Chains A and B, each alone.
Chain A
Amino acid sequence: MMTDTERTRRFNELAEAYSTDLYRYAMWICGNDALAKDLVQETFLRAWRALDSLKDGGAAKSWLITILRREYARTFERKVPKFTDVENVVVIDDEELEPDAQAERAVLRKGVLKLEPKYRDPLLLQVVFGHSCAEISEQLGISKSAVMTQLFRAREKLKTQLQKDGVTGNVHELF
């Protein structure tokens, strides 16, 4: 049993380590920054209550993602309006980019928000959290080969979107 001090220290370490990535993940699954913030705060509130059940510190990231995904499913089990206020959020280094690169990022952001969950979820776990295909497989409860197929297709869809919007740059020819 942890002391209050240990509990607080552990909780704060989790917040410092994972709140940014959880916010990004929440933002890209719900498409709204205010809702994403609410979702992350609810996730940590539940994590605080259940902190004693986290025995393996190495599993903390997956544990928090699971809490967030359940919270998202619970909160948004009803159909909610899809907000896509990606222009309102601050994207690191965006202002330093050339206009073409900024346009590419905008298309990619909108493309990610438009992806079906079966493509979007594994892609976000990989890009935002750095999960391996095996970890995604475990997190989502699907086979590793299905994960790889969905990741491949997710990127294909985004590349197609870039091509459609005419901001493909030089990355598409072989795809």
Chain B
Amino acid sequence: MSMNFSEFKKLIGADPLNRDPEVLRARQSSAEFEAAASEAEAFEEKLQGALSIEPPADLLADIKAISQHPPKQRRWMPLALAASMLIAVGAAGLAWKQSHQWENVEVYVADHYSHDGSKLVALAGGAVPGEEVQKIMARLDAEADQQLLGRITFIKFCPTPDGRGAHMVVSTDQGPMTIIFMPETQVDDGDRVEFDQMHALLVSLEQGSAAIIGNQSQRLENLAPLVRESLKPGFVGA
């Protein structure tokens, strides 16, 4: 029994490149079928073209670096699931660090921001829900207080010199600024970094440190008290 047009359209709609003999026979059975198949193929070509994005130039090299600097094996202990996730996150951070060797924290800040900092500032939209921020912070064994929560317009995990941290964009009365939270990295409080018409202020925290980054017209020290007050150690395994 031959395929009707409706069945044929559904088959090529699901798989425009379908080369099943039955589908090919149906396609050749009439001009109407042939036209439908040709148009499905034309649409597919457009769809494939639209989705064929180029990966970042450094992606492959970054991935290969994982094998060149593999994370050290840790002695496994029967920990609770939450704690084991923290170990996994820590190991991930170690690999990140080992695939990005920075001479010092100043070089790291400039390199990290130059990588995608301005793009993430442009991406940032409205305030990220506080609970989402706290979930990320909890995985870094930290928490952010209410003063900071309402200002965060973008947040994601990021590599730091000593494991994983958080990259945030915050709204201020001077415009958006970037904060890189480095929970395991110690800095000399008040040190400054200049790069690419940007500048950064390093701030020591109760746990780790942070880099406040802005353009040259922004007074970073205005944000420093808020950052010092707001980024605190949290509950392990939250």
Task: Give the distance to chain B from A43, nearest Cβ to Cβ, in Å.
Answer: 9
For A135-153 the 0/1 string (1 means CB < 8 A from B) is: 0000000000001110110
Q: Which residues of B contact A11 (CB under 8 A)?
A: 64, 66-67
| Bound form: Cα–Cα A101–B123 in Å | 26
The answer to whether A88 touches B119 (Cβ under 8 A) is: yes
Q: Does A7 contact B (CB under 8 A)?
A: yes
Is the CB–CB distance between B51 and A112 below 8 Å? yes
Mask of A37-50 contacts with B, CB within 8 angstroms, 1/0: 11011101100110
Closest A residue to B42 by beta carbon equals A171
Specify which of A35, A101, A170 is in contact with B156 (CB 8 Å cutoff). Answer: A35
Q: What DSSP secondary structure best describes chain A's contact surface?
A: helix
Cβ 8 A contact of A148, one of B14, B48, B54, B95: B14
A90 proximal to B (CB < 8 A): yes
| Chain B residues, Cβ within 8 Å of A49 | 71, 91
Query: Do A34 and B120 touch across chains, with their CB atoms under 8 A apart?
Result: yes
B60:A19 contact, CB within 8 angstroms: yes
Assess whether B15 is in contact with A148, with CB atoms less than 8 Å apart. yes
In the bound complex, residues from chain A placing their C-beta under 8 Å from that of B128 are: 80-81
Least Cβ–Cβ distance between A30 and chain B, in angstroms: 11
Asked whether A81 and B52 contact (CB < 8 A) given A8-B67, A45-B66, A49-B71, the answer is no
Q: Is the CB of B67 within 8 A of A32?
A: no
- CA–CA, A7 to B55, complex, Å? 24
Q: How far is the CB of A1 from chain B (nearest CB, A)?
A: 14
Give the nearest-CB partner of A75 in chain B.
Answer: B157
Which residue on chain B has the smallest CB distance to residue A21?
A: B55
Number of interface residues of B (CB under 8 A): 54
With contacts A16-B60, A174-B9 taken as known, whether A7 is within 8 angstroms of B67 at the C-beta atoms is yes
Residue of B nearest to A126 (CB): B15
Q: What is the CB-to-nearest-CB distance from B181 to chain A, in angstroms, rounded to a whole number?
A: 16
Q: Are A175 and B9 in contact (CB under 8 A)?
A: yes
- Across the interface, name the chain A residue whose C-beta is closest to B136: A78
Q: Does A69 contact B (CB under 8 A)?
A: no
A78 touching B131, Cβ below 8 Å: yes
User: Is B75's CB within 8 Å of the partner chain A?
Assistant: no
Which residues on the B side are within 8 Å of A19 (C-beta)?
55, 59-60, 63
Number of A-B residue pairs having CB atoms within 8 Å of each other in the complex:
157
Complex Cα distance, B68 from A33, in Å, reads: 25
Is A20 part of the binding interface, using a Cβ–Cβ cutoff of 8 Å? yes
Q: How far in angstroms is the closest Cβ of chain B from A40?
A: 7
Partner of A15, one of B64, B92, B120: B64
- Contact across chains for A105 and B120 when beta carbons are under 8 A apart: no
Given contacts A16-B60, A81-B128, A174-B35, contact A45 B92 (CB under 8 A): yes
- In the complex, the answer to whether B123 meets A32 with C-beta atoms within 8 Å is yes
Instruction: Enumerate B113-131 residues with CB–CB distance to A below 8 Å.
Output: 116, 119-120, 122-123, 125-126, 128-129, 131
Min C-beta distance of B109 to chain A, whole Å: 17
Residues of B close to A101: CB separation below 8 A: 46
Bitwise interface map of B from 79 to 112 toward A, beta carbon under 8 Å scored 1, else 0: 0000000000001100110000000000000000
Q: Verify if A54 is at the interface (C-beta below 8 Å from B).
A: no
A24 to B50 CA separation, bound complex (whole angstroms): 11
9 tightest Cβ-Cβ pairs between the two chains A and B: A108-B50, A148-B14, A90-B54, A152-B13, A23-B55, A105-B50, A151-B14, A15-B63, A8-B67
> Which B positions have Cβ atoms within 8 angstroms of A?
9-11, 13-16, 32, 35-36, 39, 42-44, 46-56, 59-60, 62-64, 66-68, 70-71, 91-92, 95-96, 116, 119-120, 122-123, 125-126, 128-129, 131-132, 135, 154, 156-157
| 6 A-B residue pairs with CB within 8 Å | A8-B68, A41-B63, A79-B129, A105-B46, A174-B9, A175-B13
